[in-house]
Copies of this chain bind each other. A is one copy, B any other.
Amino acid sequence: MFHIDVMSRRPVYEQLVDEVEHYILRGVLLPDQQMQSVRSLSMELAVNPNTVQKAYSELDRRGIVYAVPGRGCFISSSARERIGERMRQGLGNFTEQVYELALAGIEKETVISCVEDAFSRKGESNDTGRGLDEKI
């Protein structure tokens, strides 16, 4: 399920954190759903249990999963909100990034169309990712 590149310069445990958030945003991992155990996921990814544990504890620290000793690790009900909060805090960097695009001569219309594409893709998607407070 998760796509990890052990050859990447990016640490495996960070890649795993991103992957989990990725699937949460796309509605593949749902609130209160149990995740694979540390040991089984480490087997599946051909990676050391400590590496998976490091990713899980980071996700727990972020409030994206909650770990119950003896039972397992579960997706937090507010996982999507937590991810959203984190991204809102990163909007400053995002703006800075767009500023660099502007300075480099990328046209404003080009950037806008990227945004349009992204949000239209969201509209087309048939995932479980609803707007947090829409009627089910």
- Contact surface of A with B, Cβ cutoff 8 Å: 22, 25-26, 80-81, 83-84, 87-88, 91, 94-106, 108, 110-112, 114-115, 117-119, 121-122, 129, 131-132
Number of copies of this chain that the complex holds: 2
Instruction: Give Cα A115 to B111, complex, Å.
Output: 8
What are the residues of chain B within 8 A of A131 when measuring CB–CB? Answer: 105
11 A-B pairs in the complex with CB atoms less than 8 angstroms apart: A25-B100, A26-B103, A84-B104, A94-B101, A95-B114, A95-B118, A102-B122, A105-B131, A108-B119, A111-B115, A112-B115
Interface secondary structure of A, over-half rule: helix
Please give, as numbers and ranges, the residues of chain B lying within 8 Å of A80 by CB-CB distance: 104-105
CA A117 to CA B105, docked complex, whole Å: 16
Identify the closest chain B residue to A82 (Cβ). B104
* Chain B residues whose C-beta falls within 8 Å of the C-beta of A102 in the assembled complex: 118-119, 121-122
Contacts of A105 in B (CB 8 A): 80-81, 84, 131-132
Contact B100 A108 (CB under 8 A): no
Given contacts A25-B104, A87-B104, contact A99 B122 (CB under 8 A): yes
